[in-house]
A and B are shown apart, each in its own frame.
Chain A
Amino acid sequence: GLFVWHLRNTGVRQIPCRFVHLYHVANDRLITFQYFNFLKRMYVTQCNKDLSQRAKPKSDSIVSPFRELQQLDQEKKVVHKISPVSPVHQSWSEMSSRTELREMKSAAETEDSVTPVGAESKEDRQWKEMKLRLDDLPGILARLSKIKLTALVVSTASAGFAMAPVPFELTCFLLASLGTGLASCAANSINQFFEVPFDSNMNRTKNRPLVRGQISPLLAVCFAASCGIPGIALLTLGVNPLTGALGAFNIFLYTCCYTPLKRMSIANTWVGAVVGAIPPIMGWTAATGSLDAGALLLGGILYSWQFPHFNALSWGLREDYSRGGYCMMSVTHPGLCRRVALRHCLALIGLSTVAPVLDITTWTFPVISLPINLYISYLGFRFYRDADRSSSRKLFFCSLWHLPMLLLVMFTCKKSVLEKEDKGDLPGGSHETSVEIRLP
């Protein structure tokens, strides 16, 4: 509450081009508000799950609680014959908040305490015909492309776009977002295509479409191609070649470097952090057409953020990683895992301070972001010192709200374009006239 009040104040003071700026702020706040709500729901779901289950500790990714809820819903429908996959899948992919709340309540009620979360529903235990049903296809493709992760990636790209010091162009923004989204879908599909037997053996991922045989590998590859090629073409031709090149490079990095590297060396985490850092850079280059220091700073912030986020998550998945043959720091170099997470939490503070130096934000940004950066660093320190499940979970959940909040604060502290241009001019009057000229 206090934050928002302060932000609103700063917003009103700064802007010559008030309308556009407020539109930005409203938009971004709406997007991040929805994101925040979505994260809050995830958090509550996690809490419910923990209260009702007593199976051995299993950390969940962002996506898994929904899958588990979906299975539990299926348990209630007693299926005796092979029937088309229930409409639960589709309601999941549509993601109405009411459905989620209902499912959460039913999850809390129906779940048994002892059975592990991956409890097979009746339907899951039956033999299924390997036939592609067209009405299931949207849900299947959504899961194949990890649609929620894609949505988060697109939102970081739009944050990059919004932070670029140029006037906002709606068509460019939409094209860049769409292109990034398609590229992300393609990369995620190829990743799942490569990892079928490994995904089957890990609790977090065993309900993916290729694992369950709901779609053939050929179709997965065709889908990836039909997303990736138009996506990159859209970025190259509709936005600019630099963004297209970055998009193509990111797909390559994710599918051909990160995915195989996961099973060969712990270096995969650093490669993965770069993969996560590129989308905001793409957003920035889409707006400005060039790779400035600002783009690299935003990329740097996201790069650093990946480490506390992923290292904390992987701390609870050590058994599955060990059995599945994944080389992760949390398994092979646990001390390094925690050190790196803490190091990068502190780096976030440093990067936030560099932002005003590069003229991207005002000096209020490091000041306002200091509390949240200090908090995540504190949790990172606790994780470093305690190295237990509860500190890793705290750090992970903190990282989920820390990033959108940081980006939001950054956006509201963004240095206005006009302010920079009119640095030498008289205040007040000249601003008004420049506004009048611009509006048609």
Chain B
Amino acid sequence: PPAHSHRDWIGPPDRHSNLRPVIFYVPPEESALERRLREARQEAQASNQRFWAQHNRAFRQEKEEFIYSRLKAKGLEMRDESGQKATLNAEEMADFYKDFLSKNFKKHLQYNRDWYKRNFRITFLMGQVALVRALRWLRWRKKNVEQ
């Protein structure tokens, strides 16, 4: 993002976590409230990024392992004659999906709780910041009108 910009910038989805990173703009006269908001958002972003990158990586890895073990049990190689990667059909993969979901169930519950808490807190802070800014602008308008 250009150096002179006064706004946040959002990027393309991350390769591992599929989340879009945000670069936050730090205004020179940032108030304490605004700083709290920015830090909360940064912290949430970092935490989400960590969770999903690790989770997706684990998914991909376990999926590979599953395919490999199943193919081996069937006596097939990872790649067939034409060099294409051998895959299992959806019904065989279903066992893996079910397994993966139940394995990560507790992890997801914990993450959900955290995410909801963070989301509410960030939105509430955004509301406060917006309110303060609106009042400030009204006061400035009043001053301008009086002059």
- Which residue numbers of A lie inside 8 Å of B, CB to CB? 56-57, 120, 124-131, 193-194, 196-197, 200-201, 206, 211-213, 216-218, 221, 260, 263-264, 316, 318-319, 321-323, 325, 327, 331-332, 334, 387-389
* B67 interfacial contact with A, CB 8 Å: no
- Per-position 1/0 for B51-63, Cβ under 8 A of A: 0100110010000
Please give 14 more A-B residue pairs, beta carbons under 8 A apart, in addition to A194-B116, A200-B52, A263-B109: A127-B10, A128-B11, A129-B5, A129-B9, A130-B7, A130-B10, A206-B13, A206-B18, A212-B10, A322-B98, A322-B101, A323-B59, A331-B94, A332-B98
B60 CB, nearest partner CB in chain A, Å:
9
* Partner pick for A213 among B10, B98, B116, B127, CB 8 A cutoff: B10
A430 CB, nearest partner CB in chain B, Å:
64
Determine if B119 and A325 form an interchain contact, defined as CB atoms under 8 angstroms apart. no
Determine if B48 and A197 form an interchain contact, defined as CB atoms under 8 angstroms apart. yes
Closest to B20 in A: A213
Closest 8 CB pairs of A and B: A322-B97, A213-B10, A325-B108, A218-B126, A130-B8, A125-B12, A127-B11, A201-B18
- Which residue numbers of B lie inside 8 Å of A, CB to CB? 1, 5, 7-13, 17-20, 22-23, 48, 52, 55-56, 59, 87, 90-91, 93-94, 96-98, 100-102, 104-105, 108-109, 111-112, 115-116, 119, 122-123, 126-127, 130
User: Which residues of A are found within 8 Å of B48, using beta-carbon distances?
Assistant: 197
Can you give 10 contacting A-B residue pairs, CB < 8 Å? Answer: A129-B7, A130-B9, A197-B48, A200-B13, A201-B19, A201-B52, A264-B109, A322-B59, A322-B98, A332-B102
Kindly state the separation between the CA atoms of A200 and B100 in the bound complex, as whole angstroms: 19
Kindly state the separation between the CA atoms of A211 and B22 in the bound complex, as whole angstroms: 11
A82 CB, nearest partner CB in chain B, Å:
9
Determine if B5 and A217 form an interchain contact, defined as CB atoms under 8 angstroms apart. no
User: Which residues of A are found within 8 Å of B13, using beta-carbon distances?
Assistant: 120, 200, 206
B9 CB, nearest partner CB in chain A, Å:
5
Closest to A124 in B: B12
Residue pairs across A and B with CB atoms within 8 Å: the count is: 112
A125 CB, nearest partner CB in chain B, Å:
5
Determine if A321 and B101 form an interchain contact, defined as CB atoms under 8 angstroms apart. yes
Contact of A323 with B56 at beta-carbon distance under 8 Å, contacts A127-B12, A213-B10, A332-B102 already known: yes
User: Which residues of B are found within 8 Å of A217, using beta-carbon distances?
Assistant: 119, 122-123, 126
* Partner pick for B119 among A194, A206, A327, CB 8 A cutoff: A194
Contact of A331 with B101 at beta-carbon distance under 8 Å, contacts A128-B9, A197-B52, A319-B93 already known: yes
Determine if B18 and A200 form an interchain contact, defined as CB atoms under 8 angstroms apart. yes
Kindly state the separation between the CA atoms of A196 and B48 in the bound complex, as whole angstroms: 11
Of A260, A318, A323, A332, the most chain B CB neighbours within 10 A belong to A323
